[in-house]
Amino acid sequence: MKSAQALGVGRAPLPQRLIDAAARHRVYRDLFEFALVALAFLFYFLVRAAVVNETGEALGNAEHIINFEKMLGIFWEPRLQQVVIGRQLLIQLFNFIYFWLDFPLIVLVGLWLYVFKRHEYTVARDALLLSGAIALIVYNLFPVMPPRLLPSGEFVDTVRRYSNVSYQAQSTKAFVNPYAAVPSLHFGWAMVLGAVIYFSTRNWLLRGFGILLPWAELAAIVFTANHFLVDAAAGLIVCLVGVLLALAMQRWGYPAVRRWAEARWRLVESPP
């Protein structure tokens, strides 16, 4: 007679066994986490870059945003960029902020949180991934040409013109959608990152950095002509929704998944 184990009775489902293995062996858990996040961000960038041929619609939507800002009296972007044009130190400063204090900083802070602040890491990870998922929908439904690409020529693409690094480089072209201006996750993610840094440490220098980060990024996206002010507002809204969903996952989502997994485990252990 075959044993119960050979028949598959008393064995947990494969997902549960993988979770148990990850819980017992930290290296498995770390590899699983890094693979999950890497694949999620890879999927985000690939999908984000999938729709790049909507030039006419993107230009029209950009013009709608300009008209909306003019109606509100906040179409300040051309005058604001003139503050840095001709000032190489300011141009390089905001180019640096735009490029290096975005995704590279997310990776750095994510590693720090993963090692030392696991709860904060989980909330931040979920907030970024969920807000990114929402943004993907908006990018495809509402493509927007950034100021730097407008045919009017009133804006200067400072990152491309004055820096050696750029998200638009040929090597990263497959991951870039030039018409993904709304929402501005540069600003929204900087707001999430700044808040996480602030609440994860008592070091006043790091807390000060966390407070300044989103506002420095807001200045950078405008001075480099990558986003309108409305784009930043949309990015803030999307990321606030992402944070609320991440907190809901902590309060209700993960406990529900844990209860379901435990129930499944008990069912497998005690077959009828």
pTM, full prediction: 0.84
The whole-angstrom separation of Cα 62 and Cα 37 is 32
Q: Which pLDDT tens digit goes with each residue over 206-255? A: 999 999 999 999 999 999 999 999 999 999 999 999 999 999 999 999 89
CA distances, 161 to each of 9, 53, 151, 158 (Å): 65, 23, 16, 5
Whether 113 and 121 have beta carbons less than 8 Å apart is answered as yes
The whole-angstrom separation of Cα 121 and Cα 109 is 9
Going from N- to C-terminal start, the domains of the chain cover: 55-256
Quick one: tokens of 126? 């979920």
The whole-angstrom separation of Cα 178 and Cα 191 is 22
Position of tokens 């985000």?
44
Q: In sequence order, what are the beta bridge partners of 180?
A: 144
Given this model, what pLDDT does residue 207 score?
98
Confidence of residue 268 (pLDDT cuts 50, 70, 90): low
Least confident interval from 2-11, 53-62, 99-108, 240-249: 2-11
Please compute the mean of the pLDDT values over residues 26-41 and round it to a whole number.
Answer: 82
Given this model, what pLDDT does residue 270 score?
58
Which residues neighbour 153 within 8 Å (Cβ) at sequence distance 6 or greater? Answer: none
Whether 132 and 186 have beta carbons less than 8 Å apart is answered as no
